Amino acid sequence: MKRIGVLTGGGDAPGLNAVIRAVVKTAYGEYGSEVLGIKDGFDGLLDQHGVEPLSPESVRGILPRGGTILGAANRGNPFARKVIRNGGEAIVDVSDVVVERIHELELDTLIVVGGDGTLRITQELFEKGCPVVGIPKTIDNDVGGTDVTFGFDTALNIATEAIDRLHTTAEAHHRVMVLELMGRDAGFIALHAGLAGGADVILIPEIPFRFDRICEKVTERADAGRHFSIVAAAEGAYPVGGQQVFARAGDEITTARLGGICQVVGNHVAEDTGTETRVTVLGHLQRGGSPSAFDRWLATRYGAAAVRLAAEHKYGRMVSLRSTSMTDVSLKEALAKPKRVNLEGDAVLTARGLGICLGD
Ligand code: F6P
């Protein structure tokens, strides 16, 4: 294995730099291979200046840093790229250019770190004959084929801290605090942080909610002398018979941006219960900053394991954590079904057992 490339695609997640560092150190130290860093996701393969050599020296000190030293791009799909042609916008497939560039750079393997969108592109490149290996990244934890993606634990810690902070001010002012958390169509952040922070109501996309159930919970608590409540809601949650709320519509290139459901919930609760209600949208704070110890540990193991897969020529595969073991799975299998909260699983049963309202 002479040379491998590494790129970070899609939105960032805490732990990307830890992965890059582990890839570089393992490739150099264990296999004597060179590493090329591809900048800004797949875009770096379309730009003559989009590639930089990475050495153990150049990754020194990046383990605890958030973001990615390589840059990321969540509009960089080479199979559907927006260009200006004849004065108008056009969507073109430039994947052949990417394939050519991988060969031109003489990459024995391209390691792609990404969520489901980026990994889907990776699978398509594999189908075009490219030697690729995937690493699952996202705060949403919604990639199939693995128990957990790196980035999730850090987001969870930030979300839990936010709930803790909302608790004290909610209690002081006898208010209902509604916290909107990320996660796209998966409720892992809201459910796990809600449990960890002791939320009274948790709303997730996997369980469409009823406004009256939320209000009942708030009233029940007030009747018992607890004149404050915490609602932790996933941005993708929606009411029975209703729809998700979007802050911005999507198009052929950009995915629609979720946002706003908590304001709707907050307005309902305030009107129906007469309780003063405030809404907090935690947003990108969940993605920024230093990764947790767990994410550093997981990202480092993923990076090293991806290089081992590359050395074994196990292309078209993704590293995966199953229980406590590092293993791998085909990208195709990992992407066959997005991971969602298991409604029969322990987390949901635990929440119900604790009397937390899940909106149903
Ligand atoms: O997939 C990660 C994520 O942070 C989602 O939880 C969220 O819906 C989305 O990305 C936000 O994307 P952007 O950074 O484009 O606003």
What is residue 175's three-state secondary structure?
coil
Asked whether 328 lines ligand 1 (CB < 6 A), one says: no
| Alpha-carbon gap, residue 310 to 129, rounded angstroms | 15
Asked whether 183 lines ligand 1 (CB < 6 A), one says: yes
Asked whether 138 lines ligand 1 (CB < 6 A), one says: yes
The tokens for 1 are 């294995």
Place of tokens 């993704």: 318
| Alpha-carbon gap, residue 348 to 245, rounded angstroms | 23
Look at residue 260 in the predicted model and tell me its pLDDT.
98
Distance 11 CA to ligand 1 centre (A): 6
Which stretches within the chain are classed as H helix?
Answer: 16-31, 95-104, 116-127, 152-173, 188-197, 211-223, 261-273, 293-311, 331-336, 346-353
What is the pLDDT tens value at each position of the chain, 360 positions in all?
A: 999 999 999 999 999 999 999 999 999 999 999 999 999 999 999 999 999 999 999 999 999 999 999 999 877 899 999 888 888 889 999 999 999 999 999 999 999 999 999 999 999 999 999 999 999 999 999 999 999 999 999 999 999 999 999 999 999 999 999 999 999 999 999 999 999 999 999 999 999 999 999 999 999 999 999 999 999 999 999 999 999 999 999 887 888 999 999 999 999 999 999 999 999 999 999 999 999 999 999 999 999 999 999 999 999 999 999 999 999 999 999 999 999 999 999 999 999 999 999 999
Partners of 135 in the β-ladder: 113
140 classed as catalytic: yes
Burial of 154 (0-12, 13-18, 19+ CB in 10 A): buried
The tokens for 156 are 């969870």
Question: Of all atoms in ligand 1, which is nearest to the CA of residue 11?
Answer: 14
Distance 223 CA to ligand 1 centre (A): 38
Partners of 319 in the β-ladder: 328
DSSP class of residue 292 equals P
Look at residue 75 in the predicted model and tell me its pLDDT.
79
Asked whether 118 lines ligand 1 (CB < 6 A), one says: no
Report the sign of the C-alpha dihedral through residues 76, 78, 82, 84, in that order: positive
Q: Which amino acid is at 96?
A: D
Pick the closest to residue 130 from 106, 157, 162, 165 (CA basis). 106
Please pick, among 40, 43, 116, 140, the residue that the annotation labels catalytic.
Answer: 140
| Alpha-carbon gap, residue 353 to 225, rounded angstroms | 21
Burial of 149 (0-12, 13-18, 19+ CB in 10 A): buried
Residue 171 backbone phi and psi in degrees, to 5: -65, -40
Residue 177 backbone phi and psi in degrees, to 5: -110, 125
